[in-house]
Every structure is written in C-alpha cells, then in structure tokens.
Amino acid sequence: MRLAIVVQRYGTEITGGAELHARLVAERLAARHEVTVLTTCASDYVTWRNDYPRGLSVVDGIPVFRFPVRRARNPIRFGRLQQQVFHRQHSERAARAWMDAQGPYTPRMRNWIRRHRNDFDYFICFSYRYWTTYHALRETAGRGILVPTAEPDPAVEMSLFRDNFRQARAIMYNSHEERAMIETHAGNQDVPNVVVGVGIVEPPPVNAARFRTKYGIDGPFLFYVGRIDANKGCEQLFDYYERTYAAMLAAGETPPQLVLAGSAILEIPDHPGVSYVGRISDQDKYDGLAAATALAMPSFYESLSMVLLEAWALGRPVLVNAHCDVLQGQTRRADGGLWYGDGAEFHEACRLLTADERLCASLGAAGKRYYDANYTWSVIEDKYEQMLERMQSERA
C-alpha cells in the first residue's frame, strides 16, 4: 500500500513525544509498504520556526516532504485564545482562530494533500489537536487514520474535533483510557479502532555499574527521565521527595536518591538527595534504568509513556502518579509498579521499593511480561497490518 504519515515535526533529532512515535511507526511500516512522510519545516514546537529546508529529503531511507510554516506562533495571542476556548463559551470562529494560532499553520501542506489525496491508500495522522492533523483528516476523503495521542485536557472536549473523531476511517489508540475518554466526548464508538500504542527503540546491552560509576551514584535511587518541567509533574515530585527524604532520615532509614535526566525547564532543587545528570545518551538512559530501584513518572497528563515501556522492557518497576489515569491504568494492568495519590503514599511507596528487593524484582518481572505481550514491535506491527487489511477489505 501507499501510505502517508502526517505529523507536525519529523527528524532523527526529535527524540520524544508523538514525533518519535510517528517516526518509529513510519520506519516499521516502510518494510512492507511505500511510505512517505508529510511534515513541516519546523523543528521547535513552541515557535514553529522554519529550520529545515522545504521540499523533498530522505530520512533513513524514507521520503520526507517538508512544507513551510506560514507564520510562527505568537505566544501572547495563542495564550489569550486558549484561555477563551478552554474556559469560556466560544464561537466556532474563535475555535478556528485558536487552531490557526496553535499551528503549525501550513496551508501549502493542506493544499498539497487536497491535490494528491488519491495518490495514497491511507493517511496516518498523528496528534489530533495540531493544525496539520486537523486539516489532513478533512482533506483525505475517508482515507485518514488517526493516532490521537490525546491527553485529558480541555482540547479533547472541543466541538472543533468531534467530527474528526467521528469521521476518521480508523483510530489507533495509545491506551484503553485514551479510547474511553475520546468515546465519552465524541460518541465515536462505531469508528473502527484498536488499542495499539507504540514500541520502543531496541535497548542496547546495558551495564548498570557503568551508569553508577560514570555519574557517581551509590545506593538505591529513583530515576526520572524526560523534560524537567512543572507540566510534567516535577514540581510535585520535588516536594514529595524532599518530605520523604526528611521523614526517612528522621526514622533512621536510608532514603533513595532522586536522579534526574533530561532538559531542565524547572529549577533543580539544591538538595543532598537530588542528582541532575543532564541530557544523556540512549545508552546512558538504558544503563540508568537498569541500575535504578524504580523509574519515577510524576506526570498528570499522558497518552502513553514510552519511558515506562523502556523500564519494563528492562524488568524494572515504576512509581507513577495515580492522578494520571493512563499511567495508573497501565501500571495496574501490568502489575509492574506502584502509584501514589499524595505525599504520604509517595513516602510509603519509596519505603517499600527501597527496603524490599524481592518486591522490586517481582514488579519488574511482571512489567516485562506485560511489555512482551503488548508492546514488542511484532505485536505493534501486527495491529497496524490487521487494521490496514480490514480497511482494504471494506473498500473492496
């Protein structure tokens, strides 16, 4: 089949989020199908500044068409419009103005898809809330397959997206919780769908001792990997950790360290138990996961956490925020970790994970079984192939 992957940004330099998700799926589907990527010239999701050259290029053997973003995002105007459409009654005109302001605003991509929609069997569109996906689904005449990557924020409730959720040819959900949320708001239960998620970059051989030696880490530790940002729950993580550290010391217990890896948007606490190792390589990330007592995942909003899957692939347990339905749901189904709803539960989870190596081993092993059954690439690819075959048989 001829497949187009539509995504707001694309490139090997983009190492997380829906963009990495799209690239990994594109690379796997390209083994069996003729895959083309349609994206923008932007590399930065905040400004949508045109950094890549427009036109055709090739990324790891896959043709990539890049379209220029007509205007960069104006954060002041965008913020004002978002407050209006998220928190007050608003018109359809205001909603569309918000969509244009959010971007990436690229009419050339929309017009190209309109002209070439019959050249592809299906357009697989990533991230429901971006301008590129919104318009691609409307221009593809029933050939649009949606990968929503939706989190529980006010955007998912907007009437602007309801038709897209209902008219997509099929939907590839990241989690059971994401599907339930979208079906509740859109009433689109009759749209063909499957919970599929995404696989991970194959972990290299790991060496836990190498990570500890390189970064001077000794003893038990919680490992956080990702953008260090209040929006990712890190502010609350710091608060709960500092209280837990003090309480465990007062009780004569040895608290775990908190090791942070990733780009820091939030100020890192100056605290004896906190170590910041900066942005690290994939090898160091996997070595760190192998060495960790548990992965800490404090985010309130996720559609699927790839680092959670990476921890389970290595047989390590996780500690997640119970207020994120997706994280708690994944961890419950996997029996692969613990979750906390407040500071007291975070404290008790740290005590259990630090004191009981058998518990950690048991939770990590369960997580590994869950990962093997649901998130290896053979499982992911089969789900995509089955859906594509279903679509083709219904068109015949």
pLDDT in tens, 296-310: 999 998 888 889 999
Task: Calculate Rg over the CA atoms of the chain.
Answer: 22
Which pair of tokens denotes residue 198? 């995404």
Task: State pTM to two decimals.
Answer: 0.87
Which pair of tokens denotes residue 201? 């970059």
pLDDT at 75 over 90: no
Q: How confident is the model at residue 362 (pLDDT cuts 50, 70, 90)?
A: very high
Q: What is the mean pLDDT of residues 187-203?
A: 91
Q: What is the mean pLDDT of residues 193-202?
A: 89
Distance between CA atoms of residues 45 and 98, nearest Å = 16
Question: Is residue 197 within 8 Å of 179, Cβ to Cβ?
Answer: no
pLDDT at 31 over 70: yes
pLDDT at 396 over 70: no
Q: How confident is the model at residue 233 (pLDDT cuts 50, 70, 90)?
A: very high
- Find all residues with CB under 8 Å of 75, minimum gap 6, and list them: 46
Q: How confident is the model at residue 130 (pLDDT cuts 50, 70, 90)?
A: very high
DSSP lists the bridge partners of residue 221 as 257
State which H helix or E strand residue 126 sits in: strand 122-126
DSSP lists the bridge partners of residue 59 as 62
pLDDT at 178 over 80: yes
pLDDT value of position 76 = 87
Average pLDDT of the chain is 94
pLDDT value of position 384 = 97
Q: Is 112 exposed, middle or buried (0-12, 13-18, 19+ CB in 10 A)?
A: middle
pLDDT at 118 over 80: yes
pLDDT at 224 over 90: yes
Tokens 């090739």 correspond to what residue? 58
Distance between CA atoms of residues 286 and 275, nearest Å = 17
* Domains identified in the chain and CATH numbers: 2-199+377-395 (3.40.50.2000), 208-374 (3.40.50.2000)
Comparing 116 with 92, which gets the higher pLDDT?
A: 116
pLDDT at 283 over 90: yes
Distance between CA atoms of residues 89 and 84, nearest Å = 7
